[in-house]
Structure 1
Amino acid sequence: MPAYGPVILVANHVSNLDPPAVGVACPRRVHFMSKHELFINPVSGWFL
């Protein structure tokens, strides 16, 4: 991963711990995208 400039990182999830693991492992600030259904769920919507 380059230190500067835009990057698109695409991960194939094998568990629900993958997104937090990517966020912790990346040395740069990470922004995530997810489907709308995850935001309307009371539990995952609060977390996201």
Structure 2
Amino acid sequence: MSAAHDKIEDHGRFAYSNILERPQYEWPNGTKLAVYTALNMEVFRYGKGKG
């Protein structure tokens, strides 16, 4: 199977936003802020694949 078959279809709810192309925001005095949020979501098509 090629990678094209593994791609999940676009749902159209919001546009794709590449993290490398997003604007960089600066805080006062050159300080930095790091925020990490993790969400795990897995999608499986019913009746498809090896399972």
- TM-score, normalization: structure 2? 0.20
Q: Which structure exhibits the higher relative contact order, with contacts defined as CA atoms closer than 8 Å and separated by 6 or more residues?
A: 1
- TM-score, normalization: structure 1? 0.21
* Pair member with larger Rg: 2
The structure whose residues are more often helix, as a share, is 1
